[in-house]
Chain A
Amino acid sequence: MEPAPDVVAIATVPPMNPVPCRIARSGDETGDTFTLELEPPSESGFSFRPGQFNMIYVHGVGEVPISISGDPHRTDSIVHTTRMVGLVTWGMKKHRRGDFLGIRGPYGTAWPMDVAEGNDVVIVAGGIGLAPLRPAIYDILARRDRFGKLVLLYGTRGPSDILYVRQLEEWRARFDFDVHVTVDRAIGPWKGNVGVVTTLIPKVRVDPENTIAMVCGPEVMMRFVAMDLLKLGIPEEKIFVSMERNMKCGIGLCGHCQFGPHFVCRDGPVFSYAAVRRLLGIREI
């Protein structure tokens, strides 16, 4: 299959005005995490690159940046998985099928899918970090022969917090996809791994010089995972992380998302570890 179609953005004129999109499906995932699927506002559909995000507007409440977590090969659907962490996400959770949310996007840089071709790929996700990585997984599976070994390491809080359980089971059943899941602690019956996601890294068998790693999760988790991936021999310019910062515009004009000299909305959210390694080690930057 060909690479995902080029980005088809939601045309917003002026750029701060959201466009109402209808919710086609809504469903709970685990705990306070839920997924919404929206219809693109026009016939031209919507397309994005894995790793990008939209600014989502709840009428009268506000806007937040949320990663897109759908299949980049589909142009008929805009999928967002998110946690309820504030007023806007709480407002989103209350919206049901048939309601409308405002969308601006897609914005930001993408996971390095073209650079990853021909390489082994290690994907490390922590908690809700699996959501921005799912589009990369979809893309690789759609063009599986273009990539080498594919490994997913996924860590989350507990067995009841595992996101996309059924998909993980499907992926795990494939012969060309190594999926390892671990939880921080397990209450009750759980026969899987228990321990932080870094404990899964020694299990990875790839050719480190020819591996691309994509990491997404809490910043502390990404820092420690990147260090352990370096120990495996994966070069720092081949490790990629997804950063998160406060955003008010998503288009490089409000100044809030700055991380050192980088605008996370425009130079990120996906960065190579080489580019941000030093900044990650500085407090309160």
Chain B
Amino acid sequence: MSPGLAVHRLDATDLERLFHILAGEGYSVIGPMVREGTVIYDRIASSRDLPIGWADEQTNGSYRLVKTDSPGFFGFSSIAQSWKKFLVPPSQRLFRSQRQNGTFEIIREENVPERLAFLGVRPCDLRAIAILDTVHLNGPVVDPDYRARRNHALIIAVNCTKAGNTCFCASMGSGPEAGAGFDLCLTELLRDGDHCFLVESGSPKGDMVVESLALSEATPEDRSAGREAVRKAAQSMGRALQTDGLAELLAASLSHRRWDEIGRRCLACANCTMVCPTCFCTTVEDGTDLTGTIAWRTKLWDSCFTSEFSYIHGGSVRQGITARYRQWMTHKLSSWVEQFGTFGCVGCGRCITWCPVGIDLTEEAAIFREQTSLHA
């Protein structure tokens, strides 16, 4: 919460009004909800759909939801999903192609995105969206589908007042307080019967919502409680990743023996790439109808862990799992810096939680650092 920016106060009982205003502006709200023993992001119609009272216990290779009797809406940490599924859909048709008169015609897909309000974007995920923006919007070629979806999205961030066991956003500078890029930012406060949200706007779109909500200003006590809650979260991170010189260190360790040891554990299941909020690799699939007249091309999520990912005539460049794990981790924590100017990792900890064999890249990075300095 920047000292100069206006901070407002929304009582928890009034959270429903936010939904009304968003609906009035034509937004469908996507937010967290509990389904089948986990929290997912899906359409929610009201604040009652939020995971009220739910918290989670996470560690390497383990995720459990825990019900508490707290009235808090956002008492849980990173969930398996991330917002990338709404910006880079897991499956998207790019075009259809129709054969006619000896040639073929490409028929554009008019993908008009819906206006979506992302409710509950954690600071790590907010940074991840900024990273996806850099990849898809700041390169020599802009992805027009991404741009359209991004422009139709309203981002309502939620600061973290509790750190998860696998979280390390503080190390990555991406949390637990939301950085730039939100339209609105909420901080949930639960103090002895006073349940409210601090609300900040980060954009004209956000200003409009704050105005429509007609909120009162937060008191200095409210603001200081918010700062304190976020500070406590920053100090209780479950993990840490030391980032100085990490990109160079990993780039110099490509032939290190440690990769083989990780490779022996890794199953190449690709969970990490699916849950990671910044992994952006995709593939294309071409198909036709039975006559071959109509063809189409679909863009799908892909993972560098698959055996065909690096296939060129005759075989794959990265045949072994060791090489594929090395590609993923060095891309995330080293090459990304050269490619896009930041690390690809935001410290959300999902890859640690969702790895079936519990590989922890913060632990691996520390090992590489220690073993490299031993030889320095």
Instruction: State if A and B touch, Cβ cutoff 8 Å.
Output: yes
A residues with a Cβ closer than 8 A to B are 13-20, 22, 59-63, 83, 85-86, 98-100, 102, 244-246, 248-249, 251-256, 258, 260-261, 263, 266, 282-285
B280 and A253 within 8 A (CB): yes
A-B contact pairs, 13 of them (CB 8 A): A20-B104, A85-B313, A86-B313, A102-B104, A253-B136, A253-B139, A254-B282, A255-B282, A256-B309, A258-B327, A261-B334, A261-B335, A285-B317
A17 and B339 within 8 A (CB): no
Taken together as a complex, chains A and B put the C-alpha atoms of A63 and B140 apart, in Å, by 21
A252 and B302 within 8 A (CB): no
B contact residues, total (Cβ < 8 Å): 55
A18 and B339 within 8 A (CB): no
Interface string of B344-366 (1 = CB under 8 A from A): 00000000000000000000000
A14 contacts which of B108, B283, B310 (Cβ < 8 Å)? B108
B282 and A253 within 8 A (CB): yes
Q: How far is the CB of A194 from chain B (nearest CB, A)?
A: 25
B144 and A14 within 8 A (CB): yes
Interface of A is mostly: loop
B140 and A248 within 8 A (CB): no
Inter-chain contacts of B140 with A (CB < 8 A): 251-252, 266
Q: How far is the CB of A238 from chain B (nearest CB, A)?
A: 23
Q: How far is the CB of A277 from chain B (nearest CB, A)?
A: 13
Q: Which of B136, B312, B323 has the most CB of A within 10 A?
A: B312
Interface string of B328-348 (1 = CB under 8 A from A): 000100110011000000000
A285 contacts which of B102, B104, B254, B314 (Cβ < 8 Å)? B254
Residues of B91-139 at the interface with A, using a CB-CB cut-off of 8 Å, are 94-95, 97, 99, 102-106, 108, 135-136, 139
Inter-chain contacts of A85 with B (CB < 8 A): 313-314
Inter-chain contacts of B135 with A (CB < 8 A): 253
Inter-chain contacts of A263 with B (CB < 8 A): 339
B4 within 8 A of A: no
B281 within 8 A of A: yes
B284 and A248 within 8 A (CB): yes
Other CB < 8 Å A-B pairs besides A60-B97, A254-B302, A258-B327, 16 of them?
A16-B299, A17-B95, A59-B104, A59-B295, A60-B295, A63-B286, A86-B313, A99-B102, A100-B104, A246-B311, A248-B282, A253-B139, A255-B281, A261-B334, A283-B323, A284-B318
Inter-chain contacts of B95 with A (CB < 8 A): 16-17
Interface string of B246-287 (1 = CB under 8 A from A): 000001001100000000000000000000000011111011
A99-B102, A248-B283, A258-B331 known; A17-B108 Cβ under 8 A: yes
Taken together as a complex, chains A and B put the C-alpha atoms of A282 and B250 apart, in Å, by 14
Inter-chain contacts of B145 with A (CB < 8 A): 14
A255 and B280 within 8 A (CB): yes
Taken together as a complex, chains A and B put the C-alpha atoms of A13 and B109 apart, in Å, by 11
A252 contacts which of B139, B288, B299, B320 (Cβ < 8 Å)? B139
Q: How far is the CB of B338 from chain A (nearest CB, A)?
A: 4
A60-B287, A253-B141 known; A245-B292 Cβ under 8 A: no
A17 contacts which of B106, B280, B313 (Cβ < 8 Å)? B106
B282 and A284 within 8 A (CB): no
Inter-chain contacts of B309 with A (CB < 8 A): 246, 256
A100-B104, A252-B139, A258-B327 known; A63-B284 Cβ under 8 A: yes
Inter-chain contacts of A63 with B (CB < 8 A): 284, 286
Residues of B300-330 at the interface with A, using a CB-CB cut-off of 8 Å, are 302, 304, 309-314, 317-320, 322-323, 326-327
Q: How far is the CB of A109 from chain B (nearest CB, A)?
A: 12
B283 contacts which of A59, A102, A256, A261 (Cβ < 8 Å)? A256
Inter-chain contacts of A59 with B (CB < 8 A): 97, 99, 104, 288, 292, 295
Q: How far is the CB of B293 from chain A (nearest CB, A)?
A: 9
B310 and A256 within 8 A (CB): yes
